[in-house]
A = this chain, B = another copy of it.
Amino acid sequence: MSALSDHAGACTLSFDALASLLEQIFLRHGTSSEVARTLAENCAAAERDGAHSHGVFRIPGYVSTLKSGWVDGQAVPVVEDVASGFLRVDACNGFAQPALAAARPLLIEKARSAGIAVLAIRNSHHFAALWPDVEPFAYEGLVALSVVNSMTCVVPHGADRPLFGTNPIAFAAPRADGEPIVFDLATSAIAHGDVQIAAGKGELLPPGMGVDSLGQPTRDPKAILEGGALLPFGGHKGSALSMMVELLAAALTGGNFSFEFDWSNHPGAKTPWTGQLLIVIDPSKAAGQSFAERSQELVRQMHGVGLRRLPGDRRHRERSKSNERGITLDEQTIAQLRALAGQ
């Protein structure tokens, strides 16, 4: 691994060097080589793209989960071909990303042939950002939508106590003259990882993000993490979308709802054991001008009304910067990662 110390307290690594270091960590904590590579690349990509709450920040959580025996790092996903547009995967208590990788070629084939296809992953653990699951489909000229439920930490609008997970929705679509249009949004007012990061830094959150253990509004991230809960974004509308994510990602896959799993016998477990749904559409079946040209026109018009930043723009800027100059991590983080890798 080549790490260049560029200034006091910080190190710069190439994407491959970071992915390789993370792969060693996963392998050393009992995953198969397939799972190690998939998760390492996923996590390094989030760090590369500036999505720090889903980058190397997640590694200690992965490690403690693997140590706890909660997840099977050796699981081999079982793909079930149910109908011309319907695929299922039993992730067998393993991670969701290798389950998606196993089904991906057939999913793309079905989407191109039927015009639309759905992938229902169950019995899976998703601990990463969701956009890396949809973005690759857009590079293939396809439109993709994915939802994943997580763990009880969001109070449904109008309820007293938490029930839903942060339940993100991610979407990707190709466009003619630029990077795909991609967004990934938690249906909670704030992502759980961002609350953890704020707690670590001792920062207050903006108002309206969460409640304390008594159900009272709070801006203290620690009060949210210690017995409190998050609120949905956008009031009853975000809450309805979060409910939809529970139905699609759990009820429609055969996975657990966010409130159904019990990890109390696995201290250190951090990864929600739920389900994930992906819908992939082939826009070449649509009428009229090519989809990618139409989406390009929408982007052009969005810029025309004064929008400077599209969803995903910051990620692409960070990605370019990282590809050019490398990924910068502080020395303490690097040392921690090396120790976990046994280096």
Contact = CB atoms under 8 A, between A and B. Distances in A.
Count class of interface residues, chain A: 35 or more
A240 B118 contact: no
Interface in A257-290: 257, 259, 279, 281-283, 285-289
Nearest to A157: B307
Interface stretch (A13-21, A24-32, A82-90, A328-336): A82-90
A interface, over-half SS: mixed
A34 to B, nearest CB: 23
Given A114-B85, A160-B305, A90 B287 contact: yes
A76 interface: no
Contact of A243 (B80, B156, B286, B311): B311
Interface of A: 80, 82-86, 88, 90, 113-118, 120, 122, 143, 155-156, 158-163, 169, 171, 173, 181, 183, 185, 233-238, 240-241, 243-244, 246-248, 250-255, 257, 259, 279, 281-283, 285-289, 291, 294-295, 297-298, 301-302, 304-309, 311
29 contacts: A80-B287, A83-B114, A85-B115, A85-B117, A86-B114, A88-B285, A122-B288, A143-B248, A156-B307, A158-B308, A159-B302, A160-B305, A161-B305, A161-B306, A173-B251, A181-B243, A181-B247, A185-B241, A234-B238, A246-B298, A250-B298, A251-B286, A251-B291, A251-B295, A252-B283, A253-B286, A253-B287, A254-B288, A257-B297
